[in-house]
Amino acid sequence: MKSSFLNSSHNSVVRKILELPRWFKTIIIMTSDYLMLVLSFWLSLSLRNNQIYIPTLETQFLILIGPFLALPVFYFFGLYQSIIRYSNERSLFIIVIASSIYTILWFCIVLLSGAVSQPYDFLFINWLITIFFVNGTRTLAKWILRQSSGKNVHALIYGAGSAGIQLLSAMKHSPEINIKGFLDDDHSMHGRYIETKKVFDPKKIDQLIRKEKITEVLIAIPSAKRNTTRKIFNSLKKYPLIIRTLPSLNDMAQGRISISDLKKIKIEDLLKRPVREPNQKLLSMNIKSKNVLVTGAGGSIGSELCRQIVRLEPKLLVAFELSEYALYMIERELLSMNLGTKIIPVLCDAKDQARLEKVLNTYEIDTVYHAAAYKHVPMVERNTISGIETNIFGTFSCIKASVNSGVKNFVFISTDKAVRPTNIMGATKRFAELILQSFPHNHSDELKQKITKISIVRFGNVLGSSGSVIPLFRKQIEEGGPVTVTDPKIIRYFMTIHEAAQLVIQAGAMASDNDIFVLDMGEPVGVFELAKDMIRLSGMSLKDSENPNGEVEIIFTGLRPGEKLYEELLIDDDVQPTEHKKIMIAKDNGISWDILSDHILNLEKSLEYDDQHKIREIFLATVTGFKPEKEISDNLYLSKDSK
């Protein structure tokens, strides 16, 4: 308690000194230098005579007046313009030069005055003591100020290589962070020192956190692969630490590293698998020098598809979008990329088959990527009719328009929620898959050879997409919490939006017979663990029973309507490989077109009469594993009967 009070008082005094006007602080430094020079002169004479020197009136005058010679010399060399807190080796060099000039001037005065006979040894002694006192007072002041400048963040640098050493140099004068040492996996480095900082074994991190009060780890291995960074993070995330990582080597090419260059580790690094590398041949196959159309071009997946497509040099790209604002934003972004591709923005609903067909014919479209959909589970659960109209009949209109217009490739973006769904959104996406699986069988054998090739791409949650959990958690953490998780046991497959778009493009290039493509998603991620990791990465502590004084709390809200604890990618466990080792074909059985077409007609009638019970019956009859948690009629929408 006493120590805390003294530290607080000390910090308060130092803060007041730092807040003083610059001119006032300069006077304090000059006064200090004057007193040190007087002391140096007297001490030099005492050492030369090997006894305490008692000055005469003449020498007393010299001792008190002479040091005034040093002040203009020191001023000329900039010693009163520099900031003591950030002084370095160069400051010592300047002090040596300035003190040498001052000592020579002093020597001339003393020699001429005759106060000291043959003062050659005095000259050398005074020169050494002057440097010692002038530099010593500045070193002491720097140490005191830095101890009290809010440097309460104690950090370790992970990586004792060249990047780590550069980072240490950049951090030396940081008022925020105090580097306590290095961590490195190289056993030969353990116990060694780099610029007075010891290199520790990462296995000792627990001891260091307790002993040195470590709160941050700065990963300085910019050349490390994502797998290496992820392993380091996974080894550290169980501790109450903020983890930051250096930019790439390209960002460091000029050798300029500052604290602002340290960025918090990306949430993508939490994927429990490496990011999938694309097959460049597959990426270009259906796009390069071709005419391409993307529905839902302003959405999360649709907009990323557009970005990737224009980089693959299509002849033209039609951005087909219902939202005026979303279309405006993606058009502006694509044009700003200045890649030479002709961009055609079309403001229209994907359900408008006639208009879509006209666009497909006008621009002679070769490949269609159908990304337009309503995907937010609770929202579709409460707006059943709109979900069915867009996700099912919007897809039906798109495939009919594509076939009628002679489009060569049609790629449909589905979801893992289509597998044994417990919600309306998943059921609508699976029903749309069934249409695409069966639709070609409605044509003669001769026409089947010419018909549009259809592929269905099914993947998990996309990190950072609209409505996904990542931006929600970020916003809640920024607001100080609480972070809302539906259930502590809920798990999800995640992929980056970049991966998702590349998967869609590559799968479309491999289409042969209305195939459903799935990605090897690796290990599922626990959403509760993801929330805890994001809190730590945001520089805050988790508030729970073990740490009641934490900053951000996680609360459980219960599963939402239609939500389940885990998602699947396969209805049947039967898959076959493709030429891309991380993309597989799911052999999920469809429904014959004769049977499905009757269900489509019944579904249209159900929408016309808003017959929710009939809609439920149709889904139960067609969608394998559909298990709604409650009657569709219980959903929170306004039916015609309730108006």
- Establish whether the linkage from the previous residue to 482 is cis, with ω within 30° of 0: yes
Q: DSSP per residue over 613-640, as a string?
A: HHHHHHHHHHSTT---SS-GGGSSS--G
Residues 374 and 333 reside in one and the same domain? yes
Domain extent, residue 413, equals: 280-464+493-521+568-622
Number of domains in the chain: 3
How many C-beta atoms lie closer than 10 Å to residue 471's C-beta?
Answer: 13
How many C-beta atoms lie closer than 10 Å to residue 634's C-beta?
Answer: 10
Does any domain span residue 85?
yes
Contact in structure between 44 and 123 (CB atoms under 8 Å): no
Does any domain span residue 24?
yes
What residues in the chain have per-residue pLDDT under 50?
1-10, 83, 85-86, 148-150, 249, 252, 255-262, 444-449, 570-572, 632-643
**What does the pLDDT read at residue 160?**
86
Does any domain span residue 271?
no
**What does the pLDDT read at residue 402?**
92
Does any domain span residue 549?
no
Residues 142 and 162 reside in one and the same domain? no
**What does the pLDDT read at residue 134?**
75
pTM above threshold 0.85: no
SS3 for 46-78 is HHHHCCCCCCCHHHHHHHHHHHHHHHHHHHHCC
Residues 360 and 460 reside in one and the same domain? yes
Does any domain span residue 93?
yes
Residues 136 and 189 reside in one and the same domain? no
**What does the pLDDT read at residue 600?**
92
417 is catalytic: yes
**What does the pLDDT read at residue 113?**
65
Of the residues 209, 238, 265, the one at which a domain ends: 265
Question: What is the per-residue pLDDT across 40-49, written as a single tens digit (0 to 9) for each?
Answer: 777 777 776 6
How many C-beta atoms lie closer than 10 Å to residue 24's C-beta?
Answer: 9
Q: What angle do CA 515, 519, 522 make, to 5 degrees?
A: 155
**What does the pLDDT read at residue 7?**
47
Residues 6 and 138 reside in one and the same domain? yes
Of the residues 130, 147, 164, the one at which a domain ends: 147
Residue 261 structure tokens: 């260059």
Cα dist from 376 to 309, 411, 466, 585, whole Å: 25, 21, 9, 26
Q: List, in sequence order, every residue forming a beta bridge with 264; answer none if it has no partner.
A: 244
Sign of CA dihedral 13, 16, 18, 23: negative
Residues 93 and 197 reside in one and the same domain? no
Contact in structure between 519 and 510 (CB atoms under 8 Å): no
Please list, in sequence order, all residues whose beta carbon lies within 8 angstroms of the beta carbon of residue 634, skipping any fewer than 6 positions away.
none
Residue given tokens 């951005």 in the structure block: 319
With H, G, I as helix, E, B as strand and everything else as coil, classify residue 524. coil
Q: In whole angstroms, what is the distance from residue 567 CA to residue 570 CA?
A: 9
Question: What is the per-residue pLDDT across 438-497, written as a single tens digit (0 to 9) for each?
Answer: 887 665 444 444 578 888 988 777 665 555 677 788 788 878 788 898 888 887 767 777
Given 417, 453, 564, 582, the catalytic residue: 417
Domain containing 187 — which CATH number? 3.40.50.720
